[in-house]
Structure 1
Amino acid sequence: MKILITGANGFVGSHLCEKLLKDGHDVFALVRSPHKFTVAENSRLTVIKGDLDQEILSWVESLPADLETCIHTAGIVHTYSPSEFYRVNAGGTENLVKNLKQRFINLHFILISSLAASGPSLGTSSRSELDMDFPVSVYGRSKKKAEELLAMNAPTSWQLSVIKPPMVIGPRDPAVLDIFKMVQGGVILLPGQNSKTKLYSFVCVFDLVETIVLVAVQKKKGIFFSANPQVVSFEQLISEIKKQLKKNWILYLPLPLILVRLLAMVLNFFYRLFPHNLRLTPDKYHELAATNWTCDGSKSEKELGQVYNYDLERTITMTLIDYKSRKWI
């Protein structure tokens, strides 16, 4: 197949490029900065410099006329500007769809969304694809808006798919690195008194890539959660990282949610004066306050034949090996 991948320089996008090239597909990788592109050269790889910021995307004209699939992974997960979430995640999707439909009558468009677009689970059950969405953060609402704009602007001749992963863990991921560093430092800040027991679904990046490839190859329409059947508490996640790092002790420091919210507001204020990379934002607070971020990935197993090969232990092991090789840990 001939496949366009947006966000090809990103965490998921780069792994996806490598998998598709290995499987023999022709990949057209959209990147902002070609010099930062880390995927090895390949005769089936075409790197396209461009972005999704303009209403007219001139780079679309360089795509082959027989392009079959677009996998849209581009987006942002962290910013101190709520409007930036909508501009990039929602606006970028709208620009992409409007430009592609001018050239391609038939296309399989796969949007990589997020569990955040659905929101946390209510009660103790895990979310399914049939549940009503109720995002609690601006990030989640921007991803939900992207889903809506795709459905609104895509021609009826297109096939549309949406894949919603929960927490994604794996090599090259800068987000979960923060948790590894906390464990390495020996002090775990807990947002709320019950943080240890908060429940999370996760997926290894290699399993997520497998879900995406299965949807693309089988040309499956619809919404799919990509999630390992194993649900973990925050304490179990920390314990596994602690074991892998061979840490003898960990100090848990619970912080009342009101204090976490105040700290997020203070960091937001200082960011305007002294930009920093801390990920605790007023928007992130709403995600941290939720107690159940779980989803049911069984639809992907039944309809796609997905096999989740990477449990938490194996995922953390591979991720730590990668972090150490990069001297991030």
Structure 2
Amino acid sequence: MRVLITGAAGFIGSHLCDRFLREGHEVIGLDNFLTGSPDNVSHLFGNPNFRFFKYDVTNFIYLEGELDLILHFACPASPVDYMNHPIHTMKVDSMGTLHTLGLAKLKGARYVFASTSEVYGNPEVHPQPETYWGRVNPIGPRSVYDEAKRFSEALTMAYHREHGIDTRIARIFNTYGPRMRVNDGRVVPNFIYQAITGKPLTVYGDGSQTRSFCYIDDLVEGIYRLAIEEGLSGEVFNLGNPTEHTILDLAKLIIDIAGSPSEIVFTDRPVDDPDRRKPDITKAKKVIGWEPETSIEEGLKRTVNWFREKLVAG
């Protein structure tokens, strides 16, 4: 296939480039480097099946030639990033989604949209199945991300219903692994950086809030299956690890794995910070035969090692 991946230099996008190239596909990557990094794809330069363009998807997109698959993964994804770039975040998941869907319509390409567990907000249903509509504050500080993703889901389904485009939506739960930025702002890189450098680990609230953490290799496997499987047009899938951890337990585990002398300190929780987050992946198990395989201990060991090498390299 000839595949377009937006956000190709980002954490998840760069791993998707690796996977599709490894499977023998031709990949075109787009990224404006707002939160992505050239380092994440530099190893692919020189690969005859990979082409990269520095480009902002909020602008009109056109590519010559046939296109079989579009994966729209461009968007600031951490609270720090979308708080720093609120309007651009909403433009990427409105205008960017519109432009990539328009390209999918023009080329007759299959379309995969990277949504998020944030569409569920601070959920009243636990765990969260795809049928749950969510509980989102539409005017809170996190709404620039939450509501942008919800709009993109609606737009994706509108193109599916009106134009017959083969669309799929992946609702991605907390994912971690190599190539996350040191200053990403999400809990795993925050804790790992603090643990490696001997700084106190900063836990919001009392740390009793829960998250479910999926290792990047497992997530990429799920996205790949979702993208290539036939007969999934118009479907939505939760992709994440259903094993639930408190933030406090995560902090203790990272300190242990990193062999760190760091202490744990507590600070105020951000506005609209969800109390619990856990995917119901029954549908993914049944339909695409997918579930995570990497334990959090093994995934964190790999991630800690990568961060150590990154910090030593400067």
Q: Which interval holds the TM-score relative to the shorter structure?
A: 0.7 to 0.9
Counterpart amino acid of residue 176 in structure 2? I
TM value normalised by structure 2: 0.84
- Taking a change above 3 Å as real, the CA distance of residues 248 and 17 of structure 1, as seen in their structure-2 partners, is same
- Any conservation in 1 of the 2:3–2:28 contact (CA below 8 Å)? yes
| Alignment partner, residue 227 of structure 2 | 216
| Alignment match, 2:88 | 84
Change (3 A) 1:249 1:39: closer
CA deviations 1:83-125 (Å, max 9, x no partner) are 2321122221112222442x22x321000111012223226x2
Indicate yes or no: 2:180 matched with 1:173.
Answer: yes
**C-alpha displacement of 1:81:** 4.4
Identity %: 21
SS at match of 2:58: coil
Match of 2:266 among 238, 254, 272: 254
Give the length in aligned residue pairs.
Answer: 290
Output one character per residue of 1:31-87: Cα deviation in whole Å (capped at 9) or x when no partner.
Answer: 336965424232222223432122x32xx232x22x211111111121334323211
Q: Distance in 1 between matches of 2:159 and 2:295?
A: 38
Q: After TM superposition, list the pairs within 5 Å mapping 1:1-329 onto structure 2.
A: 1-32=1-32, 37-40=41-44, 41-54=46-59, 56-57=60-61, 60-62=62-64, 64-65=65-66, 67-77=67-77, 78-79=81-82, 80-101=84-105, 103-104=106-107, 106-122=108-124, 125-136=126-137, 137-138=142-143, 139-154=145-160, 155-174=162-181, 175=184, 176-184=188-196, 185-192=198-205, 195-219=206-230, 220-221=232-233, 222-248=235-261, 250-251=263-264, 253-257=265-269, 285-288=270-273, 290-327=274-311
Q: Shift of residue 248 of structure 1?
A: 4.3
Distance 1:122 1:2, change over 3 A: same
| Shift >4 Å, 4+ stretches | 33-36
Secondary structure class of the residue paired with 1:210: helix
Once the two structures are superposed, residues 160-205 of structure 1 have per-residue CA deviations (whole angstroms, 9 ceiling, x without a partner) of 111011111000112332221233434233322xx32211112111
Counterparts of 1:51 and 1:81 in 2: how far apart (Å)? 14
Contact 1:76 1:89 (8 Å CA) reproduced: no
SS of equivalent residue, structure 1 residue 242: helix
Match of 1:274 in 2: none
Q: Distance in 2 between matches of 1:254 and 1:47?
A: 42
Structure 2 distance, partners of 1:188, 1:68, is 45
User: Deviation of residue 256 (structure 1)?
Assistant: 4.5
Q: In structure 1, what is the Cα distance between the partners aligned to 2:278 and 2:272? A: 12
Report the AA paired with residue 178 of structure 1: N
Unpaired runs of 5+ residues, structure 2, are none
Between the aligned partners of 2:179 and 2:11, the Cα distance in structure 1 is 6
Tell me, what secondary structure is at the counterpart of 1:164?
A: strand
Distance 1:224 1:53 in 2: 25
| Letter in structure 1 aligned against 2:256 | K
Residue identity opposite 2:10 in structure 1: G
- Letter of the 1:189 partner, please give it: T
Seen in structure 2, the aligned counterparts of structure 1 residues 303 and 207 have a Cα distance that, compared at 3 Å, is: same
Change (3 A) 1:308 1:159: same
Give the aligned CA root-mean-square deviation in angstroms: 2.2
1:12 Cα offset (Å): 0.4
- The alignment partner of 1:3 has SS state of strand
State how far apart, in whole Å, the 2-side matches of 1:17 and 1:107 are: 17
Aligned mates of 2:29, 2:250 — CA distance in 1: 33
CA contact (8 A) 1:118 1:144 kept: no
SS of the residue aligned with 1:91? Answer: helix
Residue 326 of structure 1: SS of its match in structure 2?
helix
Amino acid at match of 2:296: L
Matched letter for residue 177 of structure 1:
P
Q: After TM superposition, give the deviation of residue 323 of structure 1 in Å.
A: 0.9
